[in-house]
Amino acid sequence: MKNQVTIKQVRITPIAFRDGPLLNAAGIHEPWALRSIVEVETSDQRVGIAETYGDASVLRALREAQDLLLGLSPFALNAMEARVRAAIQPGVSADRPIQFGLATGSHVTKNAEKVISAFEAAMMDLQGQMLGMPICDLLGGAVRPEVPYSAYLFYKFAEHIDRPYAPDAWGEAVSPEQIVVQAQKMVAEYGFQSIKLKGGVFDPKLEIASMKALRKAFPTAPLRLDPNANWSLATSIAAAQELDDLLEYYEDPTPGQEGMAELAKHCRAPLATNMCVTSMEEFKRNATTHAVKILLSDHHYWGGLRATVALARMCAVFDMGMSMHSNSHLGISLMAMTHVAAAIPNLTYACDTHYPWQEEEVIKGGRLAFVEGSVKVPTTPGLGVEIAPSQLQKLHQQYLECGIQNRDDLGQMRKYNPAFGGTNPRY
Ligand code: GKR
Ligand code: MG
């Protein structure tokens, strides 16, 4: 077609930003978190943007696929998806090993979905700019004016080993009392109304005590605990007796759908996951195992914003609730999460976000604001945020200098404790 706007350039820039010494089932966060920033430029000089994982295998997949977009209209999402699926090998091999295992979404087997998602978000940003509409309108329209997020608490050390930079303002949190202080600070600063604790770190007794202390400090807030499958089935069943009346949902206490299905028979709190239902095959199996009642969606690995809207419909069909998972991320991802969450009627649980743990930004205007725990859904065209070029350059330089190319929480923990086993489930 004459004068049709087409994609003429794609830029992929890996970045690194400071991240806290947050503890989890795998170990501890490294001092730098990685992301990839995608910029898709059109023949009429518009730039659409997206943010996704920054591990080496995703970066390589993005780079392998970037030229597939050249010449496409920003509206040609099906053509983009077909090209990417044909080009990206889903399998695991010696040069494509399984990446960080805490979130199944980060496996290389999902590289095609991850690349499609990133390209789709950038192309939908362009579509919105061209039509003068926010992305949520392209997804059917916002059903809520703001999207609620939950406080995402972590056990943590006061500072990283070898002190690569000055410690963050959050301090140490290795006891129930310190977790309550962390929650109070996060709720005071962001206004969150739901609270999630990342568990699977310490003895379950201490983590249950933390949940009880949170309940005392926040008598009415919905509470969640996520041990990232680091508890055996027996431990999870025993803990359920104490947690049942405290939890809004019990997220991934024990590994696998079969384990979760067995646990479901022994607890009243609904089970939620971002670990044992991360693909349509697993979704189909869950319909038989009845393991999980609440799915934590994540457009970054479920294949994009439109795929997440479709997933929400599947959840409705199978009587499942929907919440949203997060990994360490910046404002471009937060905006994409906000658009898609705004457009899904049955995403009724406050979404996860690591955003309070991040101090740096890549977007113009700096860090995004939360009001009463929610992010306002943008009404400006496209995604609603733009890259600050000097920040992109700075964070890219940090990537080049930080020496990390793949997230490795286990390796990082072994710097503190060389004997750290990393067995899962540990308790
Ligand atoms: O950042 O340590 C972390 C989290 O544990 C993350 O890796 C998980 O993917 O947030 C996630 C979850 O809900 O399982
Ligand atoms: Mg989780």
Segment 222-241, tens digit of pLDDT? 999 999 999 999 999 999 99
Residue 228 and residue 81 share a domain: no
Q: What residues have CB less than 8 Å from 403, skipping those under 6 apart?
A: none
Residue 249 and residue 182 share a domain: yes
Residue 357 and residue 285 share a domain: yes
* 325 close to ligand 1 (CB < 6 Angstrom): yes
Residue 284 is among the residues annotated as catalytic for this protein: no
pLDDT attached to residue 151: 98
Residue 161 and residue 91 share a domain: no
Q: Which atom of ligand 1 is nearest to the CA of 228?
A: 14
Residue at 247 is within a domain? yes
Residue 121 and residue 69 share a domain: yes
Residue at 79 is within a domain? yes
What is the CA(83)–ligand 1 centre distance, in A?
31
Residue 339 is among the residues annotated as catalytic for this protein: no
Q: Whose CA is nearest to atom 13 of ligand 1?
A: 325
Residue 180 and residue 80 share a domain: no
Residue at 261 is within a domain? yes
Candidate from 17, 198, 250, 326 with most ligand 1 atoms within 8 A of CB, to mutate: 198
For the chain, how many structural domains are there in total?
Answer: 2
Residue 219 and residue 169 share a domain: yes
**Range of lowest pLDDT (17-31, 106-120, 175-189, 279-293):** 106-120
CATH of the domain at 43: 3.30.390.10
What's the pLDDT band for 107 if we cut at 50, 70, 90?
confident
The arithmetic mean of pLDDT across residues 199-226, rounded, is 98
Residue 149 and residue 112 share a domain: no
* 226 close to ligand 1 (CB < 6 Angstrom): yes
Residue 149 and residue 194 share a domain: yes
Residue 149 and residue 109 share a domain: no
Q: Active-site residue among 29, 196, 198, 299?
A: 198
- Structural domain including 17 reads 7-136+389-400
Taking alpha carbons only, the member of 137, 98, 151, 119 closest to residue 41 is 119
Q: Whose CA is nearest to atom 6 of ligand 1?
A: 327
Residue at 424 is within a domain? no
Residue 76 and residue 16 share a domain: yes
Cα–Cα distance between 334 and 121 in angstroms, integer? 12
